[in-house]
């Protein structure tokens, strides 16, 4: 048998001509040779038995020594798989996988069953490893992809240093390295992310893709007063440590992607928020709804969210005009838009100390808003954030799970929407186990800068 594509001969399956075993007997002056079939296991005994049962044509003198039996020239039988070279085995494995994939595609399965079957077939080609920052979200993404998290060992020394070891083979695989940036642990979490990539390089992996739901150091995207461009520092470290792609969520500013040479996927959750809010507003007059941006920089995001609501309120957007006079400190100087009697949804990307959203809530309420809700993607909640949140008296707070929630007390009105399926969908497309069709124009889960 030969492979028509590669021309590689596979005649190892067909043994060559039978070799002949010779048994010599008779006197030294007149030996008689009898040809017997080549032996398998135990065939020598059978050959001798057959020979002894044959009639003698003339007297045979007893040999001075035992009959000599020449060693067989046929190699000892081996299992079939050992008869192929490594190259032939790899080729056969690919042919079998292709046939299995073709069979799966032709089977009458549901969409979820197809995804699960393809994920099982693709586990040899990609893997997902999780750092220490947000194991819950990592497990949810793995469940969405129908895979197990990769085996990784992370050791933290008493002095604060970290060590990483990937405890399984990753040779040639596409690896997704998951790690978010928690408050007070941003640089620790980034350091672990860098080391995870270096460990994968030493394991001879294929592509290494960083999955960072909340990317730290996003707010310094330009140099001021001889300061650093922190977004560029992070980009250089990720690329310098071997990452070939970045998946993150709602960058603080779209131009941050310009710091990277590699592809950056910026997953946007506005459609996720809009689907939830639309259900909450069923039966409400759309004219009574107003989306409020916390500053001029958030105007575009507010308009996208208003459009995603699909309630005809694309123009119902108000903008808070404010000025910052110190880090994490600002004051409101005006409002563009009429919020009188409106149900206001204040939308922002990061909830850190909470000062901005508290000031915005109090300002729109003082201008006649009927009620105020808060929508934020990254719920950092540092320092006195909980005090500001309580003082703002939001009727509801909508956020995502890009960061772990470490508050001991339950937060009144807080709803967390998981982004696991958004990340899993994108990762599945990159890994080749989900459909890679062009995104519909009505959806905005991904930025224009890095389409699917």
Segments forming the whole domain that contains residue 398: 270-418
Which pLDDT score, from 0 to 100, does residue 4 have?
46
CA 236-187-212 angle, 5° bins: 70
Asked if 208 and 199 count as a contact pair (C-beta separation under 8 A), the reply is: no
Q: Print burial letters for 351-365: b (CB count within 10 Å at least 16), e (below 16).
A: bbbbbbbbbbbebbb
Beta partners for 263?
A: 245
Asked if 252 and 234 count as a contact pair (C-beta separation under 8 A), the reply is: no
Residue 441 counted as domain residue: no
Residues 231 and 184 in one domain: yes
Residue 93 counted as domain residue: no
- Whose structure tokens read 């308009």? 303
Residues 237 and 256 in one domain: yes
Residues 142 and 25 in one domain: no
Residue 49 counted as domain residue: yes
Asked if 353 and 333 count as a contact pair (C-beta separation under 8 A), the reply is: no
Beta partners for 318?
A: 292
Residue length of the chain: 452
Residue 305 counted as domain residue: yes
Residue 407 counted as domain residue: yes
Catalytic residue among 140, 303, 307, 322: 322
Residue 83 counted as domain residue: no
Residue 315 appears among annotated catalytic residues:
no
* Residue 450 binned pLDDT confidence (cut-offs 50, 70, 90): very low
List pLDDT tens digits, range 188-211: 999 999 999 999 999 999 999 999
* Residue 29 binned pLDDT confidence (cut-offs 50, 70, 90): very low
Average pLDDT value for residue range 389-411? 91
- Whose structure tokens read 């300061």? 227
pLDDT for 65 beyond 70:
no
Residues 260 and 279 in one domain: no
Which pLDDT score, from 0 to 100, does residue 265 have?
97
Domain boundary among 238, 267, 296: 267
Which pLDDT score, from 0 to 100, does residue 329 have?
73
Residues 293 and 352 in one domain: yes
Residues 132 and 239 in one domain: yes
Q: What is the DSSP string of 41-71?
A: TTHHHHHHHHHHHSPPSS--PPPSSPPPBPP
pLDDT for 85 beyond 60:
yes
Residues 246 and 279 in one domain: no
Q: What is the model's pTM?
A: 0.73
List pLDDT tens digits, range 330-378: 789 999 999 999 999 999 999 999 989 999 999 999 999 999 999 999 9
Query: Counting Cβ atoms within 10 Å, is residue 332 exposed (0-12), middle (13-18) or buried (19+)?
Result: middle
pLDDT for 392 beyond 50:
yes
| Contacting residues for 69 by C-beta, under 8 A, at least 6 apart | 21, 23, 44
pLDDT for 75 beyond 70:
no
Residue 432 counted as domain residue: no
Handedness of CA 25, 30, 33, 34 (dihedral sign): negative
CA 336-342-345 angle, 5° bins: 75
pLDDT for 69 beyond 60:
no
Which pLDDT score, from 0 to 100, does residue 326 have?
78
Residues 359 and 290 in one domain: yes
Domain boundary among 267, 297, 317: 267
Kindly report the number of other CB atoms within 10 A of residue 170's CB atom.
Answer: 23
Residues 54 and 199 in one domain: no
Which pLDDT score, from 0 to 100, does residue 39 have?
47
Residues 129 and 262 in one domain: yes
As for how many domains the chain has, the answer is 3
List pLDDT tens digits, range 378-388: 999 998 999 99
Residues 242 and 319 in one domain: no
Longest dimension (CA), the chain: 129
pLDDT for 9 beyond 60:
no
- Residue 146 sits in a domain of what CATH number? 3.40.50.2020
Residue 443 counted as domain residue: no
Report the C-alpha gap between 401 and 224 in whole angstroms. 32
Residues 215 and 361 in one domain: no
């Amino acid at each position: 048998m030969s492979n028509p594509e590669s021309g590689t001969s596979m005649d190892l399956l067909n043994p060559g001509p039978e070799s002949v075993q010779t048994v010599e007997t008779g006197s030294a002056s007149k030996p008689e040779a009898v040809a017997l079939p080549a032996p398998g296991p135990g065939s020598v005994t059978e050959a001798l038995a057959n020979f002894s049962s044959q009639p003698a044509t003339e007297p045979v003198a007893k040999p001075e020594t035992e009959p000599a039996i020449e060693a067989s020239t046929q190699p000892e039988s081996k299992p079939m798989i050992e008869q192929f070279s490594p190259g032939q085995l790899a080729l056969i494995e690919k042919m079998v996988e292709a046939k299995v994939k073709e069979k799966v595609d032709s089977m009458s399965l549901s969409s979820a069953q197809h995804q699960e079957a393809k994920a099982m077939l693709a586990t040899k080609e990609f893997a997902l490893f999780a750092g220490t920052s947000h194991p819950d979200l990592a497990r949810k993404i793995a469940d969405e992809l129908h895979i197990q998290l990769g085996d990784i060992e992370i050791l933290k020394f008493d002095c604060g240093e970290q060590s990483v070891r990937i405890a399984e083979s990753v040779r040639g695989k596409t690896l997704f390295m998951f790690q978010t940036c928690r408050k007070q642990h941003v640089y620790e979490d980034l350091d672990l992310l860098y080391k995870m990539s270096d460990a994968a390089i030493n394991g001879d992996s294929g592509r290494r893709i960083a999955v960072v739901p909340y990317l730290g150091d996003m707010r310094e995207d330009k140099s001021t007063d001889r300061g650093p461009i922190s977004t560029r520092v992070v980009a250089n470290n990720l690329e310098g440590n071997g990452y070939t792609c970045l998946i993150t969520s709602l960058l603080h500013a779209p131009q941050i992607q310009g710091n990277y040479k590699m592809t950056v996927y910026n997953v946007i959750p506005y459609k996720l928020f809009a689907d939830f809010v639309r259900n909450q507003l069923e039966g409400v007059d759309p004219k009574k709804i107003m989306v409020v941006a916390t500053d001029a920089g958030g105007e575009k995001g507010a308009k996208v969210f208003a459009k995603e609501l699909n309630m005809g309120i694309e123009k119902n957007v108000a903008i808070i005009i404010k000025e910052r006079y110190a880090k994490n400190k600002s004051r409101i100087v005006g409002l563009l838009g009429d919020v009188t009697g409106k149900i206001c949804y204040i939308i922002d990307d990061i909830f850190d100390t909470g000062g901005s959203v508290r000031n915005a809530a109090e300002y729109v309420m003082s201008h006649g808003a009927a009620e105020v809700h808060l929508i934020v993607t990254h719920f950092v909640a540092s320092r006195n954030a909980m005090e500001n949140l309580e003082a703002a008296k939001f009727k509801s707070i909508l956020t995502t799970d890009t960061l772990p929630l470490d508050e001991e007390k339950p937060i009144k009105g807080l709803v967390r929407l998981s982004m696991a399926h958004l990340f899993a969908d994108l990762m599945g497309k990159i890994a080749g186990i989900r459909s890679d069709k062009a995104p519909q124009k009505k959806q905005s889960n991904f930025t224009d800068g890095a389409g699917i």
